[in-house]
Amino acid sequence: MFRSTFGFLSALIFSFIIFQSCDALETKEDDCDENKWASPQDPIISFICIADSKISCAIDTAAVRWIKYAESLHFTGNITKIYCSGEISSSFPYNSYFYPDNSSVVYDIKVGQAYQFKFQHDKDHLTIVYRIKATFTDGAIYESDELVIKSYYKDLLRDINTGEYYIQHILQSNMVWFRVSS
């Protein structure tokens, strides 16, 4: 009799512990699931750099180069979609070249291609990491430090003429560049 009562009480306590832990898991609310949008958005997004015309070299402070006189600008990096939970959805590398025509002081440079990403929460975001290498006709090559941009859905810009979405990053004229070749 004692064994059956002990077995019954043990089973009852074990069941109580299991149900309590399951109940605790159910009541633990996940902010990402709770605040998910009713209707996810999946825009096609371009990345555009706005380049001012001046490059200041960090190593040789007397050296000043102008982007408009560069033979080429080489953009390398990746764009990564990260969900609210921190889970990485997808990441795309890019490798783009731009050839300035020395006629303008500011360029709108479309980097990579257009990418489509799904947003379903205010905290979903894109992270863009890239470097720029500027090559000049005299053989001088300058490279930027690594640039990082974090962009949420609310930060996306929309072209009023085409309706296309884009992320814009303005390269500052006081941005630091390093001479990597002569």
One domain for residues 82 and 153 = yes
What does pTM read for this prediction? Answer: 0.75
One domain for residues 26 and 111 = no
What confidence score (pLDDT) does residue 178 get?
85
**Domain of 11?**
2-31
One domain for residues 85 and 42 = yes
Q: What pLDDT band is residue 128 in, cutting at 50, 70 and 90?
A: very high
One domain for residues 40 and 25 = no
One domain for residues 17 and 96 = no
One domain for residues 12 and 72 = no
One domain for residues 67 and 22 = no
Least confident of 58-62, 74-78, 84-88: 58-62
One domain for residues 9 and 62 = no
One domain for residues 20 and 103 = no
Q: 3-state SS of the chain?
A: CHHHHHHHHHHHHHHHHHHHHHHHHHHCCCHHHHCCCCCCECCEEEEEEEECCEEEECCCCCCEEEHHHCCEEEEEEEEEEECCCCCEEEEEEEEEEECCCCCCCCEEEEEEEEEECCECCCCCEEEEEEEEEEECCCCCEEEECCEEEEEEHHHCEECCCCCCEEEEEEECCCCEEEEEEC
One domain for residues 95 and 167 = yes
pLDDT in tens, 35-58: 889 999 999 999 998 876 666 655
Tell me how many domains the chain contains: 2
One domain for residues 84 and 6 = no
One domain for residues 77 and 162 = yes
- 19-33: average pLDDT: 53
